[in-house]
Chains A and B, each alone.
Chain A
Amino acid sequence: MSATAFLVAATFLASAVEAVEALTIVLAVGLTHGWRTALLGVIAGSVALAVIVAALGPALVSVIHLDQLQVLIGVLLLIFGLQWLRKAIQRSAGQRAMHDEDAIFQRQVSSLGATPDPVKSDIDWNGFVVSFKGVFLEGLEVVFIVLTFAASRDGALGPAILGAVLAFVLVCAVGTVVHRPLARVPENTIKWVVAVLLISFGTFWGGEGIGVEWSLGDLTIPVLAVVYAVAGLALTSMLARRTAALRMRTEGAA
Chain B
Amino acid sequence: MKYLTGFAMFWWDFIVGDSIALAVGGVAVLLIAAGLVRADQQMVVQLAMPAIVVATLAVSLLRGDA
A interface residues with partner B (beta carbon < 8 Å) = 71, 74-76, 78-79, 82-83, 85-86, 89-90, 107-108, 111-113, 125-126, 199, 202-203, 206-207, 210-215, 220, 224, 227-228, 231-232, 235, 239
Contact = CB atoms under 8 A, between A and B. Distances in A.
Contacts of A126: 14
A112 B65 CA distance: 23
Contact of A111 (B10, B18, B30, B49): B10
Contacts of A113: 2-3, 6
Interface of B: 2-3, 6-7, 9-10, 13-19, 22-23, 25-27, 29-30, 33-34, 37, 42-43, 45-46, 49-50, 53-54, 56-58, 60-61, 65
B31 to A, nearest CB: 9
Of the listed residues A79, A89, A214, the one surrounded by the most CB atoms of chain B closer than 10 A to its CB is A79
Contacts of B49: 203, 206-207, 212
Nearest to B13: A108
A194 B53 CA distance: 16
Contacts of B25: 82
A213 B57 contact: no
Contact of B37 (A89, A211, A215): A211
B29 A214 contact: no
A206 B30 contact: yes
A211 B18 CA distance: 31
A104 B42 CA distance: 40
A199 B30 contact: no
B15 A82 contact: no
